Structure 1
Amino acid sequence: MTRNTCVIAGGGPAGAVLALLLARSGVEVTLLEKHADFLRDFRGDTIHPSTLEVLDEIGLAEEFHRIPHHKAHAMAMETDEGSIRIADLSNLTGKYRYIAFVPQWDFLNLVTTAAARYPGFRLVMNAEVHDVIREGNAVRGVRYRDPDGEHELRATLTVAADGRHSDVREAAGLVPVEHGAPMDVVWFRLPREAADPEKTFLRLSAGHMMVVINRETYWQLAYLIPKGGFDALRSRGIEALREPVATLLPFLGERAGLLPDFDHVSVLSVALNRLRRWHRPGLLVIGDAAHAMSPVFGVGINLAVQDAVAAANLLAGPLADGAEIPESLLAAVQRRRTPPTVVTQFAQRVVQTMLIRPALAGGDRPVRLPRDLSRLPVIGALARRFIGLGVLPEHVKTPVRSHRV
């Protein structure tokens, strides 16, 4: 059995960023990631201005921008009747006025490499957390297994950042409230050619929705289907997926035939939920483990990072000083992050109800919107701030108390 000041289960954006912020503040922290690497395709990877500002505040923005990426300065929706501009981020206040599309594994490698420069940080891969250690009503660490067997890691604070299917959350007896989603998402990719459009956009037609993401050398495509509808889609054969690509995106018509079979797609079962309570004595839950977000607006990573920053701002000092963490301080993290979570999920539910559900149902005109929402005086400003910065953007306030190795 070993001991740390803080153990974090889950090496996604929330866990990785929190581990970095704590390590640079002098906290001994172990990050446990159940996979052997971060190379899992079709994960959320839209880095919004709020997260770019966080990277800037901790000195990683320049390094981040050396990673190959695509910048989107606006969000648009293409319908059968023409284009609708939803938000123009070029008018956003602040240093960063675009969304950066970066594979999530590159983002996580950047963050964990930066964390490894501090002596208090330890990353353990292939470490599957399956239970928590309890002392009375308090959580005092985790039990995990890796290729060497079973292990126990005790800690002053345990953080569950292990995603929407969190094992730590389940072991602690915390159950999220489900708010529902009318869709699942089928992810796949097709080659991109030089003459193709540059922009990333949403393609909408009666009965069909597809997100089209420019990855420079290929297109990452997300085809929305009715909730639980993948088995029915698959039973119709791969042409049932090729056909809407060719119909919605004529420039990809011939390349749609390059999608060989359903073994080359990934299915996201969309969930929208959140915990009523994000904590137990000795335990804090953040990111998707605390609130699974719909892919609407693509803000999941950014909400997770904001959770991590808020948690570090409140907890890094007491943890570095070796103090016990009262549950009231963990409750303060939840109070800080609940309003932006609730507002964002409410907006996602509105879009799901008013746009996605009718569109997938196949109405004649699934959407009726002005051609340029970004120019509407109030709506345009609210949309670019909401998408770019979120409801309550966090800023790094933790001091650097540890020298790099």
Structure 2
Amino acid sequence: MERSTCVVVGGGPAGMVLGLLLARAGVEVTVLEKHNDFLRDFRGDTVHASTLTLLDELGLGPAFAEVPHQLIDRMRVLLNSGPATVADLSRLPGRHKHIAFVPQWDFLDLLADAGKLEPTFSLRMNTAVTGLVKEGAKVTGVRYRTADGVEGEIAADLVVAADGRSSTVRSEARLPVRSFGTPMDVWWFRVPRREDDPNGGLARFGKSSGLVLLDRGDYFQIAFLIRKGTDGMLREQGVEAFRERMIALVPLLADRMDAVESLDDVKLLDVKLDRLTRWHADGVLCVGDAAHAMSPIGGVGINLAVQDAVAAATILAAPLRRGRVTPSVLAKVRRRRWLPTAVTQGAQRLIQNALLRRTLDGKVDVGGTGTPKPIALLQRFPLLQGIPAYMVAIGLRPEHAPAFARREPATIERTKADPSAK
């Protein structure tokens, strides 16, 4: 049987950050990613202000600056009377007063290239975890299968689940979960963007509908809200009905909706909002979406996942070096990250129930003739716009790189992904 001190399952932002930080602590760590590369259609392409600060602390700021990206410094709601700013990121403390939109494959390649400089870091692509290895109740490793059908096992002192809301490890560990439910799912698609189009992040709500436009330079990434469980019914109505709904909600899309040639170009995000009541068992820990599936409201899921990873590395590096990671040590990760997770999910639930559910049910029309009181308050007192900006871009209890992981800026030979190869 192969062996690694720590096996991280999932090569997303949380898994890659955790793997890099542990390797910089001298821990032998193996990251297992089921895909053959990072060139996939990610929905979460945000790098928040707190993560940008983390990259600076890790010495990766200059390398990130070379990655093509867009910066947004405000989030707005489009009313019939015009756009209204609800979050002004220029009011954030620190150097980074913005959120970056970057192709996630470039972000993950940057982390992978930094990891390759560490002798104890290993990244294995095309390797899907199929189950856990146990001795009694203790998890002692993972079983895996490669893309070409080779099966094997890796023994480990600790297995970390960073494999998302459909986590195999989370399911195998049978950890208790609390689900909160959501009123909506999301359709994701993209359309061309013109130079004179609005920039940044822009939300638009009408009666029984709503969407968010994210400025990605030469295109808009669009999240369109639909009632939970109505994906099949709406697809039966066809692409023309879909185009008409989009144009009615945002008329500026009228000259580009033919870019959506069929509803095959529209991807469904099955929205979940849940949280494990215990993030660990003996020998296994869950972080990120594997520990707490977030709603896409605010786009904060990646930020929380990265913060989990930093906290986990800070707490676990020394015990892993000693070869002694007890359940009581693993429990410290949840205790450290519970409050920001619970508060953020509480805010998402409030927005879902007070705004989105009522919008989808046709009970409120945020984009109507009147300005909703909360938005009007933010316009009257612009200083208040810094509060939602801070909650989204930084969040409660931002984590900073531990001393063992900090580096001076260095030249890193980056892998340059080629999306046209897909």
The TM-score bracket by the shorter chain reads: over 0.9
Which of residues 387, 390, 397 in structure 1 aligns to 2:395?
390
User: 1:165: which partner in 2?
Assistant: 166
1:269 lines up with 2:274 in the alignment? no
- Which whole-Å deviations, capped at 9, do the CAs of 1:14-39 have from their partners, x for residues lacking one? 11100010111111100001111112
For the 8 Å contact 1:134–1:140, the answer to whether it is kept is yes
Aligned length: 404
Distance 2:379 2:330 in 1: 38
For the 8 Å contact 1:169–1:175, the answer to whether it is kept is no
1:393 maps to amino acid: P
Q: TM-score under structure 1 normalisation? A: 0.95
1:194 maps to amino acid: E
Alignment of 1:187-336 (within 5 A): 187-320=188-321, 322-336=322-336
2:21 maps to amino acid: L
For the 8 Å contact 2:57–2:406, the answer to whether it is kept is no
Deviation (angstroms), 1:218: 1.1
- Which whole-Å deviations, capped at 9, do the CAs of 1:100-134 have from their partners, x for residues lacking one? 11121111111111111111111111111111110
Distance 1:358 1:295 in 2: 17
Q: 1:205 to 1:138 in 2, by over 3 A?
A: same
Distance 2:271 2:232 in 1: 15
Q: Secondary structure at the match of 2:122?
A: strand
Deviation (angstroms), 1:148: 4.4
Deviation (angstroms), 1:372: 6.0
Q: 1:79 to 1:377 in 2, by over 3 A?
A: closer
For the 8 Å contact 2:170–2:290, the answer to whether it is kept is yes
Q: Secondary structure at the match of 1:343?
A: helix
- Which whole-Å deviations, capped at 9, do the CAs of 1:367-391 have from their partners, x for residues lacking one? 7133462763774343222122101
Unaligned runs of 5+ in 2: 414-422
Q: Once superposed, what is the RMSD of the aligned Cα atoms?
A: 1.9
Q: Secondary structure at the match of 1:15?
A: helix
2:15 maps to amino acid: G
- Which 4+ stretches in 1 moved above 6 angstroms? none
Alignment of 1:57-76 (within 5 A): 57-76=57-76
Distance 1:401 1:230 in 2: 46
User: 2:339: which partner in 1?
Assistant: 339
Q: Secondary structure at the match of 2:295?
A: coil
Deviation (angstroms), 1:42: 3.9
Distance 1:202 1:61 in 2: 30
For the 8 Å contact 1:278–1:284, the answer to whether it is kept is yes
For the 8 Å contact 2:287–2:308, the answer to whether it is kept is yes
User: 1:183: which partner in 2?
Assistant: 184
- Which whole-Å deviations, capped at 9, do the CAs of 1:197-219 have from their partners, x for residues lacking one? 22321111111111101111111
Q: TM-score under structure 2 normalisation? A: 0.92
Q: Which moved more, 1:75-84 or 1:167-176?
A: 75-84
Q: Secondary structure at the match of 2:404?
A: coil
Distance 2:354 2:209 in 1: 15
For the 8 Å contact 2:50–2:394, the answer to whether it is kept is yes
Unaligned runs of 5+ in 1: none
1:358 lines up with 2:358 in the alignment? yes
User: 1:348: which partner in 2?
Assistant: 348
For the 8 Å contact 1:42–1:187, the answer to whether it is kept is no
2:8 maps to amino acid: I
